[in-house]
């Protein structure tokens, strides 16, 4: 049975049961965390950001993340215990690539008359959980370097070195090649269904052309993917290797892995590197994409296949197009004008990769 949380903190007490969360209760938590006085340390500057699944509060030299009580097909944060478990998983998994950034998981407590951040006791009851992180300078992200065209080769060398070391020591995913191929096949079909939804107005001919090439490659070259699985090349990776999650510097830090779904983190490193490459290319820095590919594949030394890498690029670009446009399926999507533009940009990348895949298939 799910935990209960009070429908209003203003009318709760320490002895109250905790009914299911709702929008009103979340709003009270967000309002509390939006005040500098809420924090157990001095806060001279405070900002907040909303994401698809969380509220993030930039409080001085710390960051506090509050997960929303949401449920989607790929995650469930709808109860207090599920959010606590997700916070603790996020802490542990992200310490693999950012050990000095993820500090702790702490409760958001209710003592009968007020909210507080801190340890729960006999009087205080945990009504939610917060991830505490060290705040990093966003001017040091790969995204910032790409946007400002200030990216240096030595920064990419350090990034690739960090990634190669991570993949070499990441836990292999013990799954059959049949299971892996079946999951990929379903994802290809789902991409097609969403991208061809008439209400989105995406170019149907382009989507079908990309999808046909992907299916031809999948049917004729599935053995290449299956062999990667049998060779234990599929690992528990990051799952969301976007430039805004990567901090460059002497110590490269990569945050925000997909802690909520182990299946989505089960990736071939070639696939994850391909994803990072298309993100660099989409931001207009094609040389960085080519450099990362070349250096990473030399470092991995595990049987690189250019045609498989190209398939992964094409698939990831299509997946990103689908994830972008799917925001419009939400009741009140944020920045609705952005998603069709992003989806079309990813489809253009996928189309170019599909053309390269066709040439591989003709050989």
Q: Which domains does the chain have, with CATH numbers?
A: 9-135 (no CATH), 140-362 (3.90.1200)
Question: For residues 61 and 108, what is the distance between their CA atoms, to the nearest angstrom?
Answer: 19
Spatial contact of 14 and 110, defined as CB atoms under 8 Å apart: yes
**Residue whose token pair is 């799954």:** 175
Question: For residues 230 and 268, what is the distance between their CA atoms, to the nearest angstrom?
Answer: 12
- Strand 253-254 relative to strand 125-134, pairing: unpaired
Tens digits of pLDDT across the chain (363 residues): 333 333 333 333 322 333 334 456 899 999 999 999 999 999 989 999 998 899 999 999 999 999 999 988 888 999 999 999 999 999 999 999 999 999 999 999 987 778 999 866 555 788 999 999 999 999 999 999 999 999 999 999 999 999 999 999 999 998 899 999 999 999 999 999 999 999 999 999 999 999 999 999 999 999 999 999 999 999 999 999 999 999 998 899 999 999 998 999 999 999 999 999 999 999 999 999 999 999 999 999 887 789 999 999 999 999 999 999 999 988 888 788 999 999 999 999 999 999 999 999 988
Question: For residues 134 and 61, what is the distance between their CA atoms, to the nearest angstrom?
Answer: 6
pLDDT at 348 (0 to 100): 97
pLDDT at 12 (0 to 100): 33
Helices (H), ranges, 36-100: 80-94
Question: For residues 108 and 105, what is the distance between their CA atoms, to the nearest angstrom?
Answer: 10
pLDDT at 16 (0 to 100): 33
pLDDT at 61 (0 to 100): 94
pLDDT at 175 (0 to 100): 87
User: For residue 260, what is the DSSP state?
Assistant: T
pTM across the whole model: 0.87
Select from 330, 350, 361, 360 the least CA-distant residue to 191. Answer: 350
Per 3-state DSSP, what percentage of the chain is helix, strand, and coil (rounded to 5)?
55, 15, 35
């Amino acid at each position: 049975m799910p935990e209960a949380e009070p429908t209003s903190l203003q009318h709760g007490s320490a002895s109250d049961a905790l009914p299911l969360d709702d929008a009103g209760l979340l709003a009270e938590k967000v309002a509390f965390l939006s005040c500098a006085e809420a924090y157990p340390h001095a806060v001279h500057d405070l900002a907040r950001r909303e994401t698809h699944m969380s509220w993030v509060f930039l409080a001085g030299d710390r960051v506090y993340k509050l997960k929303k009580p949401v449920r989607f097909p790929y995650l469930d944060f709808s109860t207090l215990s599920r959010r606590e478990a997700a916070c603790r998983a996020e802490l542990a998994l992200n310490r693999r690539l950012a050990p000095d950034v993820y500090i702790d998981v702490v409760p958001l407590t209710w003592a009968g008359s007020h909210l507080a951040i801190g340890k729960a006791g006999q009087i205080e009851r945990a009504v939610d959980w917060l991830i505490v992180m060290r705040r990093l300078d966003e001017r040091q992200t790969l995204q910032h370097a790409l946007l400002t065209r200030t990216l240096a080769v030595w920064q990419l060398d350090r990034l690739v070195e960090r990634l190669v070391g991570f993949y070499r020591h990441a836990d292999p995913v013990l799954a059959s090649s049949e299971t892996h191929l079946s999951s990929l096949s379903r994802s290809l079909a789902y991409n097609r269904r969403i991208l061809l939804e008439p209400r989105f107005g995406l170019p149907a001919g382009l989507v079908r052309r990309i999808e046909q090439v992907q299916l031809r490659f999948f049917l004729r070259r599935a053995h290449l993917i299956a062999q990667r699985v049998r060779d234990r090349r599929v690992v528990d990776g990051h799952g969301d290797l976007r430039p805004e999650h990567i901090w460059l510097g002497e110590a490269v830090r990569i945050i925000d892995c997909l802690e909520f779904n182990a299946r989505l983190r089960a990736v071939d490193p070639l696939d994850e590197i391909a994803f990072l490459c298309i993100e660099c290319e989409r931001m207009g820095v094609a040389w960085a994409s080519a450099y990362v590919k070349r250096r990473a594949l030399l470092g991995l030394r595990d049987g690189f296949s250019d045609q498989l890498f190209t398939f992964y690029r094409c698939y990831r670009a299509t997946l990103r197009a689908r994830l972008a446009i799917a925001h419009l399926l939400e009741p009140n999507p944020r920045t609705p004008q952005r998603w069709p533009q992003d989806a079309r940009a990813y489809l253009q990348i996928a189309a170019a990769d599909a053309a390269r895949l066709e040439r591989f298939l003709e050989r």
